Structure 1
Amino acid sequence: MAENNLGSENTVDGGDVAEQLRVLRADVAALAETIRTLGAQRVEAGADALRNAAERTGETLRMSADDARRRGEMLAEDLESRIAANPIPSVLIATGVGLLLGTLFSRR
């Protein structure tokens, strides 16, 4: 007669299952905390990258504005020197431009 050996070898103790569930819950909680920390680090890194890009863009805009201002000043100085060198033609050109603009705007 063959005896069934399923008894004590294949039985899982209720305490073992409870302990395994406790360990599994702790592992899941630790994993969730790691994911939260990693997400926060990524968000912080993204915010830093955005701040750095904004600073670089602001500096580029300031440099462009300074360059445009310098060019405008140079053009104004050049125009002043040309007017000083040729005052009568300058007055005649300004008068002609003024009459042309007055005619254009008076027709509206």
Structure 2
Amino acid sequence: MARIKAKTAQEILMEDFQTLVSDTERLLEHTASLAGDQADELREQIRDSLLRARETLKLTEDALQERGKAAVAATEDYVQANPWQSVGIAAGVGFLIGLLATRR
């Protein structure tokens, strides 16, 4: 359950970060009409920040994918090593979901 919440929180964080990057890109496009040295400097700083943000986003995405693959591999190893326990756990979870679904 904690892993599900953590994954959901990570997904929300990634979506928020992607929204921030796209909003900043739109801001950069809107400031293109501004003139002057300060506006050029501001645009350059925004571009640099966007590049760093994209790199960070890509690294985070890659790390999340690696952790996801490791979790899948660990789960597969556990199921192969303990098939009957896995069947019992799956049956128990299915039973609980069935109980919760009939309550509504």
TM over 0.5: yes
Deviations 1:69-104 (A, max 9, x none): 101100110110010011011001001001101111
Question: 2:54: which partner in 1?
Answer: 58
SS across alignment from 1:79:
helix
1:105 aligns with 2:98: no
State the alpha-carbon separation in 2 of the partners of residues 65 and 94 from structure 1. Answer: 30
Letter in 2 for 1:74: A
Which structure is higher in RCO with an 8 Å CA cutoff and minimum separation 6? Answer: 2
State the alpha-carbon separation in 1 of the partners of residues 54 and 101 from structure 2. Answer: 39
Which one of 20, 40, 44 corresponds to residue 44 of structure 1? 40
Count of residues in Structure 1 that have an aligned counterpart in Structure 2? 70
**Offset at 1:55?**
1.1
Unaligned stretches of 5+ residues in structure 1: 1-38
1:80 aligns with 2:76: yes
Unaligned stretches of 5+ residues in structure 2: 1-34
Q: Which has the larger radius of gyration?
A: 1
State the alpha-carbon separation in 1 of the partners of residues 62 and 101 from structure 2. Answer: 34
Flag as ranges the 4+ runs of structure 1 deviating above 4 A: none
TM-score when normalising by structure 2 = 0.64
TM-score when normalising by structure 1 = 0.62
